[in-house]
């Protein structure tokens, strides 16, 4: 007998598992009992349980030992004990993939499947289908057809579900069972009807017309099973999404009608489907929102939760559509279920007015300690969205967030709060000092390394530019004394930024950095030594390049370039211009940080899209001498319609003195093979086409790549913009779609493509300069030019800023792309690197009267980039 355990033992987990210390060899030894006569059903069932436990725990069982145990188990079919028989079925299913010759039990299972004992028939069908492969499927086809239309629901459901699994291996056989499945779909049993519809859908899912007919048929006939209705709603939704048709279709009417069904499950599924349809209008959402509003006052907690969670999703895209539910949501704020209350409040935060924020904040704070971290993160995200909507309320939000920050919580929760506070600081300059003070207090007792380093980085960037920067030094230096080496290294970098930004603070910072030079950790000592030496030079250009703005290079690219330099020793010093730039601006690199990110594991930096292109292009012999890839266009440009016989997309690659056009071509005709495929380009300006690299062959639906290499004009380096007319040229060879045989002789043909444009943005790579003024001084005014332009077609500063950023393809710095409200003047700071590795900075002063006037000042260490900017804007 097994020892009985009370509930306390079960919850503590102490000794409550009777199979905890099972030995595989001992269990297989026990399995010899199966050969004894008479059979002891209770003992045998217990041993089978042990075998199943071991398999499910991942214990490896060899083919020989599994086969021995399996054959011994087959003798248990002599017993008529129902429990033992059910255990046999389970064991057959689990061991079907491990043991050999499992088909030995086919006759026993077939006998049970067609026998008079209904309790055996369903499980026998499942077990039989598990051991049947595609070659044996026809042998049991007759039995399966009978089982599908059986009057006993459990047998019919078992056969239908087993057929669904068999579709993977024997689709052609199973699709012949459609008539039986149709008959089962009219069953009065709700599960049989649901399973039959599932089978019918999966048989027909690749035939869109057949699926559409099936939905129409059953929507007219009506269904008895709420599960079947839910499935039909999902199928109809999928068809609507694929079709992208208007909402006048019968499918949409069917979903809408389901919201008047007597089953709550069906009503919710229909409302949820409408809410999640892409491009849904407020008018189409209205009936779904009304249904969800009714569910908000349901006595069932599950329905209230489902309704408020779905309304929360709707509020993200259509807050005005949910406003009608505000009263019901306010009632849910006091709901005994804290998950419902949290979702209700976060939904209200998205739909409520500015005046209701204070009241909602008080209500949230009353139960924040009672809800899980997962829901706390939802609250923080809602507050973050609210800050962007009502920036004047930032002080209320900041105080609330800081209160949450002081409470207990996990990494994800704390990270969400810190990110939210940082967003508020960046969007509202007046909140900077309050926010930094809160974060300084938080890092005094912060257990998460990732968050501490993130805040220290922010302090170095923003704290050094506040009216009283010295008050932050104490908090930063405390980290050098009290924290682990990662945080200490980040603190040293932050201290250096204070010294570089403020000459008055240099003496104090230099004393602290000298102390850091005696640290136990190599990284901390090296940083302190490096920064101190740079600061002692007292050169603003050095401070900007090495402390305030840092390197803007691709890490994998730098590693590869250094490795290449060590393999081929040279008299020349290593040139940083040979390293590709970092393609993603630093402010966009807010990658998802997992809770394990603080663990000290060496991480391999993922290669960017540009690094992958660099490797692909360097493998082409004609491109070997082009040097480092400077920039690749972000999205391929389609040069044909997606439905045409040939589909071509173009990606532009910029090098120091050349441009490469990569054409991704697809042949959509199954009776043709294209050979020697090239794209001939004719420039309108002084660009020169150097060569074309063809795609050798394009088979049906197989993508191929061809390239065209062009050189910019040498006589006028400022003429960077150009339009190319493109023609796809190839040799056509007809082929038989069925056999794939190709004719020997082919003929020349061509296909006209859309034009490709080169703009100034293709010659400039975005780089972020966290401290623009320092970078401006670093570049100097040796090659500075200034001109004034009238932007007569633009009526707002926002429109002007967006157009300038997109046209020049440069990175806005210090959040200057955000124009403050009610302002008629603004300054936009842009940074980039011009083709060839020349730093380029632009300051655009904008003034709004009847139209926008712009004064552009450009600086670079070379004359050409400045001339290019002036010529392009002019």
> Looking at the predicted structure, is the pLDDT value of residue 574 above 50?
yes
> Looking at the predicted structure, is the pLDDT value of residue 601 above 60?
no
Q: Give the model's pLDDT for residue 585.
A: 39
The closest alpha carbon to 623, from 720, 724, 711, 729, belongs to: 711
pLDDT higher at 355 or 23: 23
Q: Give the model's pLDDT for residue 635.
A: 83
> Looking at the predicted structure, is the pLDDT value of residue 598 above 90?
no
Instruction: Tell the burial category of 806 from Cβ atoms under 10 Å away from its Cβ (0-12, 13-18, 19+).
Output: exposed
> Looking at the predicted structure, is the pLDDT value of residue 833 above 50?
yes
What tokens appear for 226 in the block?
Answer: 């709420």
> Looking at the predicted structure, is the pLDDT value of residue 803 above 80?
yes
Contact 463, 611 (CB under 8 A): no
> Looking at the predicted structure, is the pLDDT value of residue 604 above 80?
no
- The Cα–Cα gap between 316 and 381 comes to 11
| pLDDT band at residue 403 under the 50/70/90 scheme | confident
Mean pLDDT of 573-580: 77
For residue 640, count other CB atoms closer than 10 A to its CB.
Answer: 19
> Looking at the predicted structure, is the pLDDT value of residue 553 above 50?
yes
| pLDDT band at residue 15 under the 50/70/90 scheme | low
pLDDT tens digits, residue range 378-393? 778 877 777 777 777 7
Q: Give the model's pLDDT for residue 607.
A: 58
Q: Give the model's pLDDT for residue 246.
A: 57
> Looking at the predicted structure, is the pLDDT value of residue 563 above 60?
yes
> Looking at the predicted structure, is the pLDDT value of residue 512 above 60?
yes
Contact 272, 310 (CB under 8 A): yes
Q: Give the model's pLDDT for residue 587.
A: 40
> Looking at the predicted structure, is the pLDDT value of residue 253 above 60?
yes
pLDDT tens digits, residue range 634-644? 888 899 887 78
| pLDDT band at residue 717 under the 50/70/90 scheme | confident
| pLDDT band at residue 680 under the 50/70/90 scheme | very high
Q: Give the model's pLDDT for residue 583.
A: 58
> Looking at the predicted structure, is the pLDDT value of residue 347 above 50?
yes
Q: What percent of the chain clears pLDDT 90, i.e. is strictly above it?
A: 12
Mean pLDDT of 330-339: 80
Q: Give the model's pLDDT for residue 352.
A: 67
pLDDT tens digits, residue range 770-779? 888 888 988 8
| pLDDT band at residue 427 under the 50/70/90 scheme | confident
Q: Give the model's pLDDT for residue 99.
A: 81
**Which stretches of 75-189 are DSSP H helices?**
82-95, 106-113, 118-131, 141-148, 153-174, 178-185
| pLDDT band at residue 679 under the 50/70/90 scheme | very high
SS3 assignment, position 757 = strand
Cα distances (Å, whole numbers) of residue 314 to 307, 309, 354? 11, 9, 20
pLDDT tens digits, residue range 441-479? 888 888 889 999 999 999 888 888 888 888 888 888 888
- Across all residues in the chain, what is the average pLDDT? 83
pLDDT tens digits, residue range 298-318? 888 899 999 888 888 888 778
| pLDDT band at residue 613 under the 50/70/90 scheme | confident
pLDDT tens digits, residue range 166-180? 888 888 888 888 888
The closest alpha carbon to 602, from 516, 486, 453, 522, belongs to: 486
Mean pLDDT of 683-693: 86
- The Cα–Cα gap between 691 and 158 comes to 65
> Looking at the predicted structure, is the pLDDT value of residue 661 above 90?
yes
Mean pLDDT of 716-736: 87
CA 696 to chain centroid, in Å, comes to 36
Q: Which residue carries 């869109």 as its tokens? A: 208
End-to-end CA, the chain? 93
| pLDDT band at residue 827 under the 50/70/90 scheme | very high
Mean pLDDT of 36-41: 86
Mean pLDDT of 417-430: 84
Q: Give the model's pLDDT for residue 710.
A: 92
Contact 579, 559 (CB under 8 A): no
């Amino acid at each position: 007998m097994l020892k009985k355990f009370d509930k306390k033992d079960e919850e503590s987990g102490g000794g409550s598992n009777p199979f905890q210390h099972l030995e595989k060899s001992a269990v297989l030894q026990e399995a010899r009992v199966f050969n004894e006569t008479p059979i002891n059903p209770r003992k045998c069932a217990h041993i089978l349980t042990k075998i199943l436990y071991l398999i499910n725990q991942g214990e490896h069982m060899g083919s020989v030992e599994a086969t021995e145990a399996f054959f011994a188990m087959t003798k248990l079919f002599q017993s008529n004990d129902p429990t033992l028989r059910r255990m046999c079925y389970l064991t057959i299913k689990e061991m079907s993939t491990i043991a050999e010759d499992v088909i030995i039990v086919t006759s026993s299972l077939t006998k049970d499947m067609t026998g008079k004992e209904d309790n055996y028939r369903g499980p026998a069908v499942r077990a039989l289908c598990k051991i049947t492969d595609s070659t044996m499927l026809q042998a049991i086809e007759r039995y399966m057809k009978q089982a599908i239309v059986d009057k006993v629901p459990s047998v019919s459901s078992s056969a239908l579900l087993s057929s669904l699994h068999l579709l993977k291996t024997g689709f052609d056989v199973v699709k012949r069972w459609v008539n039986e499945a149709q008959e089962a779909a009219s069953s009065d049993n709700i599960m049989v009807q649901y399973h039959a519809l599932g089978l019918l859908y999966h048989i027909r899912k690749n035939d869109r017309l057949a699926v559409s007919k099936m939905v129409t048929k059953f929507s007219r006939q009506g269904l008895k099973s709420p599960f079947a209705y839910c499935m039909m709603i999902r199928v109809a939704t999928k068809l609507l999404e694929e079709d992208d048709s208007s909402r006048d279709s019968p499918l949409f009417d069917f979903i809408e009608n389901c919201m008047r069904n007597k089953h709550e499950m069906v009503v919710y599924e229909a409302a949820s489907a409408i809410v999640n349809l892409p491009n849904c209008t407020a008018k189409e959402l209205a009936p779904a929102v009304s249904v969800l509003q009714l569910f908000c006052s349901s006595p069932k907690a599950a329905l209230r939760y489902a309704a408020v969670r779905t309304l929360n999703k709707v509020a993200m895209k259509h807050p005005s559509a949910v406003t009608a539910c505000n009263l019901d949501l306010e009632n849910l704020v006091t709901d005994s279920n804290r998950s419902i209350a949290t979702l209700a409040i976060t939904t209200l935060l998205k739909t409520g007015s500015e005046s209701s924020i204070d009241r909602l904040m008080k209500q949230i704070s009353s139960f924040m300690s009672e809800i899980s971290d997962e829901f706390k993160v939802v609250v923080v995200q809602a507050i973050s969205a609210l800050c962007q909507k009502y920036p004047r309320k930032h002080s209320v939000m900041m105080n609330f967030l800081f209160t949450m920050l002081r409470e207990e919580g996990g990494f994800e929760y704390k990270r969400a709060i810190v990110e939210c506070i940082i967003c508020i600081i960046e969007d509202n300059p007046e909140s900077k000092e309050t926010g930094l003070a809160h974060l300084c207090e938080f890092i005094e007792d912060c257990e998460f390394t990732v968050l501490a380093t993130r805040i220290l980085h922010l302090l170095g960037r923003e704290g050094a530019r506040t009216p009283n920067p010295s008050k932050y030094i104490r908090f930063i230096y405390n980290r050098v004394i009290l924290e682990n080496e990662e945080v200490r290294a980040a603190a040293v970098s932050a201290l250096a930024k204070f010294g570089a930004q403020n000459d008055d603070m240099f003496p104090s910072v230099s004393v602290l950095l000298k102390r850091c030079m005696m640290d136990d950790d190599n990284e901390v000592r090296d940083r302190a030594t490096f920064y101190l030496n740079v600061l002692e030079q007292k050169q603003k250009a050095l401070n900007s390049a090495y402390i305030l703005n840092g390197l803007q290079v691709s890490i994998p690219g730098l590693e590869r370039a250094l490795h290449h330099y060590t393999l081929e020793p040279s008299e020349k010093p290593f040139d940083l211009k040979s390293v590709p730039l970092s393609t993603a601006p630093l402010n966009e690199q807010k990658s998802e940080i997992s809770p394990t990110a603080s663990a000290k594991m060496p991480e391999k930096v993922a290669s960017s899209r540009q690094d992958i292109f660099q490797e692909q292009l360097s493998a082409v012999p004609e491109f070997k001498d082009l040097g480092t890839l400077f920039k690749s266009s972000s999205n391929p440009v389609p040069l044909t319609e997606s439905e045409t016989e040939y589909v071509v997309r173009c990606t532009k690659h910029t090098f120091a003195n050349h441009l490469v056009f990569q054409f991704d071509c697809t042949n959509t005709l199954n009776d043709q093979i294209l050979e020697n495929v090239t794209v001939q380009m004719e420039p309108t300006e002084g660009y020169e086409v150097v060569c074309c690299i063809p795609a050798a062959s394009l088979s049906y639906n197989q993508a191929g790549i061809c390239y065209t290499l062009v050189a910019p004009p040498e006589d006028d380096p400022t003429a960077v913009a150009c339009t190319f007319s493109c023609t796809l040229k190839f040799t056509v060879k007809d082929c038989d779609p069925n056999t794939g045989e190709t004719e020997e002789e082919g003929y020349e043909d061509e296909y006209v493509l859309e034009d490709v444009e080169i703009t100034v943005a293709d010659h400039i790579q975005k780089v972020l300069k966290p401290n623009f003024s320092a970078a401006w001084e670093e570049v100097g005014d040796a090659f500075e030019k200034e001109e004034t332009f009238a932007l007569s077609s633009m009526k707002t500063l926002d429109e002007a800023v967006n157009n300038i950023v997109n046209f020049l393809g440069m990175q806005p710095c210090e959040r200057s792309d955000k124009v403050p409200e009610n302002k008629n003047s603004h300054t936009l700071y842009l940074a980039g690197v011009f083709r060839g590795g020349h730093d380029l900075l632009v300051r655009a002063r904008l003034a709004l009267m009847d139209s926008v006037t712009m004064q552009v000042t450009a600086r670079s260490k070379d004359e050409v980039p400045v001339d290019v900017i002036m010529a392009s804007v002019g």
